[in-house]
Amino acid sequence: MLIVEVVKGMLGPLAPVLDFILDNPALTSVVFLLWFVIYVAGRMQLGKIEAKTRDLVLQMSQAELAQNPQITAQLLYKIIYPRWSEALPQWGRFIPHRLDLWPVPVTAKNVAQKIPFSPEWIAGVLREQNISPLDDAV
């Protein structure tokens, strides 16, 4: 119990929170379990969003490259981004915050913090498929 007292001393005015956690282990476990379930659901949605983003990039890039073989990753990004940001809310409801502590709604800004959707990212996805846009400077 000496360790608990030392931790309470370090917590200062938040020591009653530790007392509550120790006095109510079932309630604390339920709260952490719910948080974990929400976290896992958010991670699963983020994985789904990343997969659908890759599919969208490949599909749209192949169509654009067929029309214009001289297209750059920067131009592909400008073409794909509006459709991507429009489709995001249909692909998921929430993802973990960039700190992974709480869920945030699926928006282009929030997803961009987890998936670095940029011309460089698009070029990387295309290189993985042995498709190369014109500008390797990206």
**pLDDT tens for each residue of the chain, 138 residues long:** 789 899 989 999 999 999 999 999 999 999 999 999 999 999 999 999 999 999 999 999 999 999 998 889 999 999 999 999 999 999 999 999 988 889 999 999 999 999 999 999 999 999 998 887 666 544
Sequence ranges of the domains in the chain: 15-128
Query: Quick check: 132 and 126 in contact, CB under 8 A?
Result: yes
Backbone angles phi, psi at 104, to 5 degrees: -130, 150
Nearest to 57 by CA among 137, 133, 138, 136: 133
Contact yes or no for 92/49 (Cβ under 8 A):
yes
Q: What is the pTM of this model?
A: 0.82
